[in-house]
């Protein structure tokens, strides 16, 4: 029964998001404000006027019948709006996807043939299923990992290729144009075969559109130029003199197309192209919707947008359309024209449908050269020179992705170029996240913050390191190498504090890496402390047993860690007699005895034989009666250390005083020197031996060993 209950819960967990996303039209209808109706209708009329000729032109780029562009515009606008997220986004055929479709399918079937048309419809369905699955699985965030440079590089290459491809119909030339080399060679070898009337009409249309833009950029230049060109063809009967025309369009609703959904061989051949089209469509749609949202303040749902794009492509594929996505130019017009809700896009689709049914016969005089001219102008607009310069001057990784995608688009198969660009985006992300910055930090001048201050001296005993990135399996080797390099560069720095306030994620590989670093520092006689560890990582440390291995007291509050380490762990002898810098706030009031230049250095003193005595042996000598007098215990620490605890009957003679003053030590008693860890007492012993006092020993391990043996006598 419990198993069945668990299955029901899991099934409900999976179905709830799908049900929510698919009920989007109902929520839109309930929330629709009639105040928005006027603005939505005005925007729809404006957009439909521009979208009508563009849709025909984009279908010709994909080398599909012109009505396929209209069908795609109608279905894409309506379904993407009803199931999408953005209020202003408008979906339909686009330059980039049209070029991707023909580039992906031209090797499978002759462009324009029945097999080609069916393959384009099947690709649209595959694209839609991919996008729908992404949305229902709530994987909308994945599109964030595709660099903007991929879009810029592909759009630039697409603009160049579209422009070159349209030279043929602009001048009524015929040549292969699968890539840049073929297109350039084709233009050069067939230029002498230019049809004069077609060339005049095509070039004249380009000039006409350019003049309209200069006079008033808001005028629908594409539509007006096609109307004028059609009138010229009709009046001069140019269609009977060799000027190619579109021909009459069918006056019908988008017809249903039977697709070979179970032709696995065809599906396999289309799959790579469908993946490229789907990915570019999602990235392009997300970028446009976010651009609109920054101006409107609308909160977007990327997963809902993916669902809308997926359904639009699926329906378009079944109803004589091809792959579609959001269009920036049309969306911008929709926004500027006053669109208030997604119903503006729905109305646009309906207006395009009405125009197609009413005006279809007029396409009989629409010259192919005029459409080519409009596409050349549009293709020129795809090349965003300002954005190219910004990326080129920016990060090198983004520039490499842009250039690679551009070169691939121009010289390789288009779908391969897009996938390469996407893979490079992921590679760049992985490279950046797998090599997070790991650097030593020191307190700033006010001792309020830790900062990376290259060139500033560090504490010789204690290092502080910042990790600026996550500790996941791809980054741990780099982080560990950087920490070990720091340890090798600072061999006397036996203690380390790692600040983890910039570490948001940690996996089991990160735990293993931290365990390795802890062992490294403990093997060299030091220790490791972690501060600013967030709650999820603390939970992982607890469940994996790492916190027990490290010690809960080694995960302290950052505000207290320096004082704790300074007071209880660091060797004051190094601070007082060796360290020339005052790195931490706690160092500021510490006495500095650097004037004792004759004080032997630890590395020098290690070459001189000095007797040592264990804590147990000294305890026995102090508490057992002998004929000989008991040893004289001399504590060479500072008074504040002495007051915290010392060996019974120990005489306090700080090291500077022992060396600088005329202190008389008895010759008939053994002298046992005591300090915190043995460092200062060893120096004192070496100095005393140098003046002839040879009956000297040091307490092995100092007061740390004495306290560990349970022999400490605290003085209140």
418 CB-side CA count, 13 A: 27
DSSP assignment letter at 471: B
- What separation in angstroms does the CA of 155 have from each of 148, 426, 553? 11, 19, 57
Q: Is residue 622 part of a domain?
A: yes
More confident residue, 620 or 313: 313
313 shares its domain with 442: no
Q: How much is the pLDDT for 543? A: 93
Phi-psi region of 338 (alpha: psi -120 to 50; beta: other; left: phi over 0): left
DSSP-based three-state secondary structure for 5 = helix
364 shares its domain with 492: no
Q: Is residue 392 part of a domain?
A: no
Per-residue pLDDT tens for 397-449? 888 888 988 888 888 776 677 778 878 888 888 888 888 999 999 888 888 88
pLDDT at 600 over 60: no
pLDDT at 176 over 50: yes
Q: How much is the pLDDT for 627? A: 67
Q: Whose structure tokens read 């997604």?
A: 342
583 shares its domain with 618: no
Sign of CA dihedral 294, 300, 302, 304: negative
Of the listed ranges 382-386, 614-618, 624-628, 692-696, the least confidently predicted one is 624-628
CATH of the domain at 456: 3.30.750.24
Q: Is residue 399 part of a domain?
A: no
**Rounded distance, CA 334 to CA 665, Å?**
97
- What separation in angstroms does the CA of 680 have from each of 46, 375, 610? 87, 85, 13
Determine whether 360 is exposed, middle or buried from the number of CB atoms within 10 Å of its CB (0-12, 13-18, 19+): middle
Q: Contact at 8 Å (CB) between 283 and 154?
A: no
- End-of-domain residue from the set 352, 369, 385: 385
680 shares its domain with 617: yes
Nearest CA-CA partner of 642 in 626, 632, 653: 653
> What percentage of the chain carries pLDDT values higher than 70?
92
DSSP-based three-state secondary structure for 506 = strand
More confident residue, 530 or 226: 530
Cα-trace Rg, the chain: 39
- End-of-domain residue from the set 352, 385, 418: 385
**Mean local confidence (pLDDT), 496-524:** 92
316 shares its domain with 452: no
pLDDT at 602 over 50: no
Pairing between strand 696-699 and 611-613? Answer: parallel
Pairing between strand 527-531 and 495-499? Answer: parallel
Determine whether 664 is exposed, middle or buried from the number of CB atoms within 10 Å of its CB (0-12, 13-18, 19+): exposed
Q: Which domain holds residue 299?
A: 32-385
Q: What is the pTM of this model?
A: 0.62
Secondary element (H or E) of residue 378: helix 368-382
Q: How much is the pLDDT for 606? A: 46
Q: How much is the pLDDT for 320? A: 93
Q: How many CB atoms lie under 10 A from the CB of residue 484?
A: 13
pLDDT at 222 over 50: yes
Q: Is residue 419 part of a domain?
A: no
Q: How much is the pLDDT for 12? A: 58
Per-residue pLDDT tens for 46-80? 788 778 878 888 898 888 998 999 999 999 999 99
**Rounded distance, CA 656 to CA 647, Å?**
20
**Rounded distance, CA 339 to CA 440, Å?**
53
Q: Is residue 27 part of a domain?
A: no
Mean pLDDT of the chain: 84
543 shares its domain with 684: no
Q: Is residue 2 part of a domain?
A: no
Q: Is residue 19 part of a domain?
A: no
Q: What is the dihedral of CA 249, 253, 254, 256, to 10 degrees?
A: -120
**Mean local confidence (pLDDT), 649-660:** 83
Q: Is residue 423 part of a domain?
A: no
Per-residue pLDDT tens for 532-544? 999 999 999 999 9
pLDDT-based confidence at 330, cuts 50/70/90? confident
């Amino acid at each position: 029964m419990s198993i069945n209950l668990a299955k029901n819960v899991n099934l409900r967990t999976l179905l709830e998001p799908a049900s929510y996303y698919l009920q989007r039209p109902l929520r839109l209808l309930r929330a629709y404000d009639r105040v928005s109706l006027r603005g939505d209708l005005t925007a729809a009329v404006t957009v439909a006027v521009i979208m009508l000729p563009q849709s025909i032109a984009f279908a010709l780029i994909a080398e599909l019948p012109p009505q396929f562009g209209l069908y795609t515009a109608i279905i894409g606008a309506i379904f993407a709006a009803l199931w999408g997220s953005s209020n202003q986004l408008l979906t339909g055929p686009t330059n980039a996807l049209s070029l991707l479709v023909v580039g992906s399918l031209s090797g499978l079937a002759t462009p324009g043939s029945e097999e080609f048309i069916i393959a384009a419809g099947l690709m649209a369905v595959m694209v839609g299923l991919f996008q729908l699955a992404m949305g229902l699985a709530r994987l909308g965030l994945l599109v964030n990992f595709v660099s903007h440079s991929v879009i810029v590089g592909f759009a630039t290459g697409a603009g160049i290729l579209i422009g070159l491809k349209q030279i043929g119909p602009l001048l009524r030339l015929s040549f292969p144009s699968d890539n840049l080399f073929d297109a350039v060679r084709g233009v050069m070898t067939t230029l002498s075969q230019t049809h004069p009337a077609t060339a005049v009409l095509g070039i004249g249309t380009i000039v006409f559109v350019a003049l309209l833009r200069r006079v008033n950029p808001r005028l629908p230049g594409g539509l007006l130029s096609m109307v004028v060109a059609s009138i010229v063809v009709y009046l001069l009967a140019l269609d009977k003199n060799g000027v190619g025309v579109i021909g009459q369009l069918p006056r019908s609703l988008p017809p249903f197309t039977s697709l070979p959904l179970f032709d696995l061989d065809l599906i396999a051949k289309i799959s790579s192209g469908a993946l490229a089209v789907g990915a570019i469509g999602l990235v392009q749609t997300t970028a446009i919707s976010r651009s609109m949202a920054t101006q409107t303040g609308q909160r977007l749902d990327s997963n809902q947008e993916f669902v809308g794009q997926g359904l639009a492509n699926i329906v378009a594929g079944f109803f004589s359309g091809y792959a579609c996505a959001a269009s920036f130019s049309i969306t911008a017009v929709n926004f500027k024209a006053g669109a208030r809700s997604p119903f503006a896009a729905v109305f646009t689709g309906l207006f395009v449908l009405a125009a197609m049914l009413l005006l279809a016969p007029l396409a009989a005089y629409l010259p192919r050269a005029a459409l080519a001219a409009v596409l050349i102008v549009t293709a020129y607009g795809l090349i965003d020179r300002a954005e190219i310069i910004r990326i080129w001057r920016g990060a090198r990784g983004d520039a490499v992705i842009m250039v690679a995608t551009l070169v691939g688009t121009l010289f390789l198969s288009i779908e391969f170029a897009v996938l390469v660009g996407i893979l490079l985006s992921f590679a760049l992300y992985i490279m950046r996240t797998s090599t997070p910055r790991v650097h030593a930090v020191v307190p700033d001048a006010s001792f309020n913050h830790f900062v990376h201050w290259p060139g500033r001296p560090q504490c010789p005993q204690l290092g502080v390191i910042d990790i600026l990135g996550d500790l996941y399996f791809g980054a741990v080797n780099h982080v560990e190498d950087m920490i070990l390099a720091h340890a090798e560069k600072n061999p006397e720095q036996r203690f380390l504090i790692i600040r983890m306030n910039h570490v948001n994620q940690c996996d089991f590989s990160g735990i293993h890496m931290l365990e390795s670093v802890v062992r490294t520092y403990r093997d060299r006689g030091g220790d490791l402390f972690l501060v600013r560890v967030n709650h999820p990582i603390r939970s992982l440390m607890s469940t994996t047993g790492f916190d027990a291995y490290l010690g809960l007291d080694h995960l302290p509050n950052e505000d207290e860690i320096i004082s704790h380490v300074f007071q209880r762990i660091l060797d004051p002898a190094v601070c007082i007699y060796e360290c020339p810098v005052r790195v931490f706030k706690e160092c500021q009031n510490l006495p500095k005895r650097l004037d004792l230049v004759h004080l032997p250095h630890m590395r020098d003193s290690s070459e001189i034989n000095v007797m040592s005595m264990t804590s147990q042996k000294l305890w026995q000598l102090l508490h057992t009666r002998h004929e000989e007098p008991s040893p004289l215990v001399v504590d060479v620490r500072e008074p504040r250390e002495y007051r915290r605890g010392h060996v019974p009957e120990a005489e306090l003679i700080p090291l500077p005083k022992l060396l600088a003053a005329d202190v008389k030590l008895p010759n008939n008693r053994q002298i046992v020197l005591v300090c915190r860890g043995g460092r200062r007492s060893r120096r004192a012993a070496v100095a005393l031996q140098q003046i002839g006092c040879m009956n000297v020993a040091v307490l092995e391990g100092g007061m740390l060993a004495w306290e560990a043996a349970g022999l400490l006598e605290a003085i209140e």
